[in-house]
Every structure is written in C-alpha cells, then in structure tokens.
Amino acid sequence: MDAREKLGELSNLFASRRLVVVSNRLPYNPVRTSKGIRYVKGSGGLVTALDPILRLCNGLWIGWDGGTGPPMKEKRVAVSESDDEGSYQLRFVNLTEKEISHYYYSFSNRTLWPLFHNFIGMSHFNSAHWKTYFKTNAYFAGEILEEANPSDVIWVQDYHLCLVPNFIRYQHPELRPYFFLHTPFPPYDTFRVLPWRRPILEGLLGSEKIGFHVKNYADNFLDCVEKILNVPVDRKRGAIEVDGREVRVSSHPISIDYDAFRDIALTNRVTGRVQKHRSQIGDRIVILGVDRLDYTKGIKERLLAVERFLEKHGKFRHRILLIQVAVPSRTRVKEYRVMKREVDETIGRINGRFTGEGWPPIQYIYRSLSREELVAYYRLADIALITPGRDGMNLIAKEYVASQVDKKGVLILSEFAGAAEELTEALLVNPYDIETVSDAIYKAIRMSSAQKKRRMEKMQNLGSRWDIYCWVRDFFEGIE
C-alpha cells in the first residue's frame, strides 16, 4: 500500500468529522518574506502524517508559533501546500514572555521533561512555574472551546498540555479529547516525587483515551493512577473508571514516513552525497550519532564509549570516525548550556588525545541538517550509535533503518529507548555501561556482511509495515 492509499484509509476515518490537533508548537513557522508572511512547514513525523488528513477534513491545528517569526495579528490562517490539495486552519495561541519562561522553558522543560525521563535530579520544582503551567493549560483549553464542536475529534499532544483534557471535559462534557504522550511515563516511585502529581493525573484523565508509545509507560501510568488517586484500574483491558465513564489507556509506538526516507536515500542526489563523503573519508569506519542536544540522549557517555574503544583497540585508532550531529535545543535552559559545554570539552579532549595521520576521531556538526544531508549520513554510516539514557521512542533509529538501502550498517541501540521494543535485531546496550558499549562497537565492526544484511532486512520489514500512518490509524481504531 503506498502513502496515497494509506491516507485514503485514514481520511475515511475523518470523513464525517473534523480533526482538531492541539500541541504546544504549531506545525508551521511564520516567516516574513518580501511578498508578506509565508508559513513554512516543519519536518517532523507528526506533521507529515497529520497534514494531509487535516487538509482532507478541513481540520484545525491549535498551538503556539514558537515566537521566532513576526508577531501574528490574525487569530487564524489557512495553510495549503498547493491550490488543488485543500487547506486547513492554524489557530495561534499567543504566549507572553512570562508564559514562555514559566510554562514552556521551566515547568514543561525543567520539571516534567526530566522527571518523565527518570532524571529526578535534574527536575526543578517551583510553585510559581506550576501556577503558570496551570493557567497556560487553561488558556489553551479556552482556545479549543472557542472552536470545537461535539462532532470534532480533539487530539491533544504531549507533556506541555497534560491539564488540557480535564479543563475541556469540565467545561464542555460533550467534547471528548484524546491525548498522546510523546515522552516516557515514569514509574510510580519517580512520578510520586512531583508535588503536583494529583492534578497532572486528573488533568490527563479528562481524556477519552490516553496513548503511550510502549506498554511499559502505559503500565506505569495505570500504577500511578491506582496508587496516587486510589482509583481502581483494569490492567487487562487498559481501562479506568472515572466519574461513571471509561478512560482507555493503550500503547501505540509512533513511527516515521518509512517509504519517504527510503525513497530519499535512493535518489541520485543522496547517492552523490554519499560518494562524495566516501571519497573524503576513504575506507574509515563511520560511526554516526544524531541527536537533539539533550542530556537524555546520552551523548557524553557515548563519547566515553568511543574513547574506551580507541584505548582498547589500538589498531583501529586511525580507522574509525565518529560523526556526531547535534541540533541546538532549548539553549535558554541552563542544563542544556552546561551539557553543551561538557560535550564540547569531551570531544576536544578525545580528539586531542587520539588525532593521528591528520584525522581527528570525532567530527562534530552542531546544527540542523536538511533532510537530504541527514539521510546521506544515515546511508553512509557503517554503525549508528544511538544511546539515549532514556527516550520515549527515538525516531533517529527508525530513520537510520529506513535509509540503510545498501543494508551494510549496524544499529547499536540503547535498551532504554522505546524503539528497542521493536528493533530487537539491533545490538541492544545499556548506555551507562561504557565498557559494554565499546564492546558493541567492536562486535558491529566484526559482524559478517551476511549477518548485517539479515538483521537490517528484518528491521526494515517491520519498519515498512508499521509506519506513521499505521500509528494514526491504530490510535483511532474503533473510534465511534
């Protein structure tokens, strides 16, 4: 089934109802040009999957524009890719400086983000930030209530908006919000640390259905509801009885537009890029790391594992190259700036120690890449070293598999990434165990071509059968 057919199936689902997506950030960024303001589409998987569906059902996406473009005077605009493909509406939620600071950078990204990833020591608990998070979630809910009808399907996304479902339900019981969490949900012993654990759970329970990436996160959520709210849960059915209604809790692993990545990898332009890189690198073994620069991604431990590998295997000293690509992220948050400095220093130290024959062992690219550049690196890499300390899913791992059209690469993947549940043919490692990660690099180098191909094909079969379109369909399966 190609993307058009898959979309056709999905659009049947939304033929008689409008999809209203709500997320912190809108999928388009306003950019000022000489001809006025243009809306530039983001490249994430969620946008790729939902954009055509929204166009088909005249849908609506509500969110913040990120504050990077020109100030928006209009409340809503229509966006379309081309005249014949239909359009949908964006509704702008304007945030004040205080809201951006307290709701977004602080409570969302310095309290919930670390806590949900099990980094309790990184979590900051500040009641002023909580108050603004509460008010901003109420504000988002108000924006939705101005727009929504009972026949709409409202789909709220992610940890920034945990309180929104209950705000909606409370004010308009006929509306039925759905919710998906894109991060992990932590175990009870971690979550109970949060001073606002009750309202966060209650907020989410306003949903008709709450989706998580993997069963383990859904189970953690059910544990927390049972132990913190004292509400009985039905683990077998994934259901919670709240005020005489049922909230469903289930897992739906998100994926990527698999065919699109594979097709880009096969283009002449990407093939040309790969050949050019190869002619510069020669026959050195390319190990690739790609991440948003975030402390959950385990970049420092990964660098230490490569260093350990170089210490142990002298004969590979000038034969490997780690290309570490990092996208700048949340640079206003102190922990991210501290981490960036640590990564810079560690790379400098390792390169200082092991540079030889004119080659440093690590090449560091600190910027966002175009899709084509990224896919060329995926296709080039002999090894993808993807070792987050914790990750809700990790799409990089899936993108690497889809782009490995030559089937020569090996994926080394953290067992703490949601993707590890599906990508079992990867070499799964504990990212904190530096010694074992360095051994996995050796194992990957030594792996026979036949085994590499067999493992990669298995993962590709799975990837092509479970893509981003399947994820949307699966989430809404059985919707009345």
Burial class (CB in 10 A: 0-12, 13-18, 19+), 435: exposed
Query: What is the CA angle 10-170-177, rounded to 5?
Result: 10
Nearer to ligand ADP, 238 or 409 (CB): 409
Least CB distance to ligand ADP at residue 111 (A): 17
Nearer to ligand ADP, 355 or 368 (CB): 368
Q: Which of 10, 320, 381, 395 binds ligand ADP (CB under 6 A)?
A: 395
- The reply on whether position 325 binds ligand ADP by CB under 6 A is yes
Nearer to ligand ADP, 14 or 64 (CB): 64
For the chain, how big is the Rg over CA atoms in Å? Answer: 23
- The reply on whether position 50 binds ligand ADP by CB under 6 A is no
Residues 352-381 that bind ligand ADP (CB under 6 A): 368-369, 374
Nearer to ligand ADP, 114 or 238 (CB): 114
* Helix locations, 245-394, DSSP H: 258-265, 268-281, 299-312, 334-354, 371-380
Active-site residue numbers? 182, 391
Nearer to ligand ADP, 89 or 460 (CB): 460
CA distance 163 to 147: 18
Q: Which of 77, 239, 327, 445 binds ligand ADP (CB under 6 A)?
A: 327
- The reply on whether position 447 binds ligand ADP by CB under 6 A is no
Q: Which of 270, 393, 412, 470 binds ligand ADP (CB under 6 A)?
A: 393
> Of the listed pieces 268-276, 304-312, 342-350, 389-397, which binds ligand ADP according to CB under 6 A?
389-397
Token code pair at residue 448? 């026979």
Least CB distance to ligand ADP at residue 297 (A): 7
Token code pair at residue 271? 């093939």
Q: Which of 24, 48, 394, 460 binds ligand ADP (CB under 6 A)?
A: 394
Q: What is the distance of C-alpha 231 from the center of its chain? A: 30
- The reply on whether position 421 binds ligand ADP by CB under 6 A is no
- The reply on whether position 399 binds ligand ADP by CB under 6 A is yes
Q: Which uninterrupted H or E stretch holds 79?
A: strand 76-79
Report how far apart, in Å, the C-alpha atoms of 157 and of each of 18, 116, 147, 211, 251 are: 17, 15, 17, 10, 14
- The reply on whether position 77 binds ligand ADP by CB under 6 A is no
- The reply on whether position 396 binds ligand ADP by CB under 6 A is yes
Nearer to ligand ADP, 167 or 416 (CB): 416
Least CB distance to ligand ADP at residue 335 (A): 15
Least CB distance to ligand ADP at residue 141 (A): 25
Report how far apart, in Å, the C-alpha atoms of 427 and of each of 66, 409, 423, 466 are: 37, 12, 9, 21
Number of residues that bind ligand ADP (CB under 6 A): 13
Residues 90-119 that bind ligand ADP (CB under 6 A): none
- The reply on whether position 292 binds ligand ADP by CB under 6 A is yes
Contact (CB, 8 A) for 275 and 286: no
Quickly list DSSP for 434-453.
Answer: HHHHHHHHHHHHHS-HHHHH
* β-pair partners for 28: 41
Strand order in the sheet with 153-157: 76-79, 88-92, 60-64, 19-25, 153-157, 177-180, 209-212, 245-251, 239-242, 233-234
- The reply on whether position 427 binds ligand ADP by CB under 6 A is no
Nearer to ligand ADP, 30 or 388 (CB): 388
Contact (CB, 8 A) for 259 and 469: no
Residues lying near ligand ADP in the complex (CB under 6 A) are found at: 44, 290, 292, 325, 327, 368-369, 374, 393-396, 399
